[in-house]
Amino acid sequence: MRILVTGGAGFVGSHIADQLLEAGHEVRIVDALLPTAHDGGPPWLPAGAEVVTADLRDPEVAAAAVAGVGAVCHQASMVGLGADIMDIADYVAHNDLATAVLLRALARRSFAGRIVLASSMVVYGEGRYACPEHGLVAPGPRATADLDAGRFEPPCHRCGRPLVPQAVPEDAPADPRNVYAATKLHQEHLLAAFAREQDGVDVTALRYHNVYGPRMPRDTPYAGVASIFRSALERGEAPSVFEDGAQIRDFVHVGDVARANVLALGCEEPAPGAYNIASGVPRTVGDMARALAAALPGAPEPVVTGAYRRGDVRHVFASPQRAAEVLGFRARVGLEEGMAEFAHAPLRLPAVGGG
């Protein structure tokens, strides 16, 4: 089967393309190679794939991209918190407008097949919490005064008692807390609407947790925290860990994430809806920083700074049970093993001035 992988030159998309080719599929990659993430064409583009460097926001590009494909793996996206709120129009254009143009192109050719979307755990906002007195509660945004005072844990909004973080299931209410999160949730909504309008279309949204691994972008405000820590260590600097380092996340290796996409594209029965793609073993940001530093002999220990970013949430980690039961997905790479590889893996440079 010919499968379109949008964003297939990128971090996750290129690994998906590799695994699809290994499974015997034909792969068409369409990627804009945005300078915020790419310093030209990356060296790992698979020789067996058809590669088109173009912008999906162009209707002609989208029409050509979907011609003759039996499935779509939609990975193209601006990611991360970005530089500041001035990125808002770029996020909406590259994430939501591009998705809309792609879906219109699919509708025009009466596409009937499977679409797998790269979504994100950021759609949840804060994770799931329980109050000893009031049960499950949804904390509001953390107050600036609390953050300035080093009070990072969100309290129960009813009684003020400390909350206990829990794994987030897929049916948890969405609560996007930054621009990127809002665009990812909108992508989910656009694809769900498309599936309702188009007979024979199945949409699976994979909510990635904190993905890391080879080919991750570096030295850009759009990079993930693991890449930022790795760049600091390469400069001989201690990684700066925000807050108190006890923020809980789920760090999942890019190879596992790519395999989840291949499973979703190839499962016998349709798998509609959202799925958490996570390791299932939550760790703190401090744990991750220490594991990465330990993989580099002589590297400085991470430094906990107490600084914070307004768009960050305190704890968010997932239950991957639904992905295991429906897709057959279970992560294989543990954090220490993955960080030992990541410490020496090739990363992707942005164009000069592109960040």
Q: Which tens digit of pLDDT belongs to each residue from 199-242?
A: 999 999 999 999 999 999 887 666 689 999 999 999 999 999 99
What the block records as the tokens of 342 is 């990541």
Has residue 142 got a pLDDT over 90?
no
Average pLDDT on 54-67 reads: 97
Look at residue 221 in the predicted model and tell me its pLDDT: 64
Q: Which tens digit of pLDDT belongs to each residue from 171-185?
A: 999 999 889 999 999
**204 C-beta neighbours (distance < 10 Å), count:** 27
Q: How confident is the model at residue 44 (pLDDT cuts 50, 70, 90)?
A: confident
Summary mean pLDDT of the chain = 93
Q: How confident is the model at residue 192 (pLDDT cuts 50, 70, 90)?
A: very high
Average pLDDT on 103-125 reads: 97
Look at residue 83 in the predicted model and tell me its pLDDT: 60
The rounded distance, in Å, linking the Cα atoms of 41 and 292 is 28
Q: How confident is the model at residue 189 (pLDDT cuts 50, 70, 90)?
A: very high
Q: How confident is the model at residue 355 (pLDDT cuts 50, 70, 90)?
A: very low
The secondary structure of the chain, three-state, reads: CEEEEECCCCHHHHHHHHHHHHCCCEEEEEECCCCCCCCCCCCCCCCCCEEEECCCCCHHHHHHHHCCCCEEEECCCCCCCCCCHHHHHHHHHHHHHHHHHHHHHHHHCCCCCEEEEEEEHHHHCCCEEEECCCEEECCCCCCHHHHHCCCCCCECCCCCCECEEECECCCCCCCCCCHHHHHHHHHHHHHHHHHHHCCCCEEEEEEECEEECCCCECCCCCCCHHHHHHHHHHCCCCCEECCCCCCEECEEEHHHHHHHHHHHHHCCCCCCEEEEECCCCCEEHHHHHHHHHHCCCCCCCCEECCCCCCCCCCCCCECCHHHHHHHCCCCCCCHHHHHHHHCCCCCECCCCCCC
Angle formed at CA 104 by CA 101 and CA 107, multiple of 5 degrees = 155
Has residue 58 got a pLDDT over 80?
yes
What the block records as the tokens of 93 is 């254009």
Look at residue 37 in the predicted model and tell me its pLDDT: 67
Has residue 31 got a pLDDT over 90?
yes
Query: What share of the chain has pLDDT > 90, as a percent?
Result: 81
Angle formed at CA 110 by CA 109 and CA 113, multiple of 5 degrees = 110
The rounded distance, in Å, linking the Cα atoms of 162 and 303 is 26
For 286, residues 6+ apart whose C-beta sits below 8 A from its C-beta are: 241, 244, 245, 246, 302, 304
Q: Where are the domains of the chain?
A: 2-127+168-343
Report the amino acid identity of residue 204: T
- Of 79, 105, 104, 103, nearest to 90 by C-alpha is 79
Question: Which residue in the block uniquely carries the two structure tokens 């543990």?
Answer: 334
Which CATH number does 2-127+168-343 carry? Answer: 3.40.50.720
The rounded distance, in Å, linking the Cα atoms of 191 and 202 is 9
Residue pair 203/194 in contact by the 8 Å Cβ criterion: yes
Has residue 53 got a pLDDT over 60?
yes
Q: Which tens digit of pLDDT belongs to each residue from 315-326?
A: 999 999 999 999
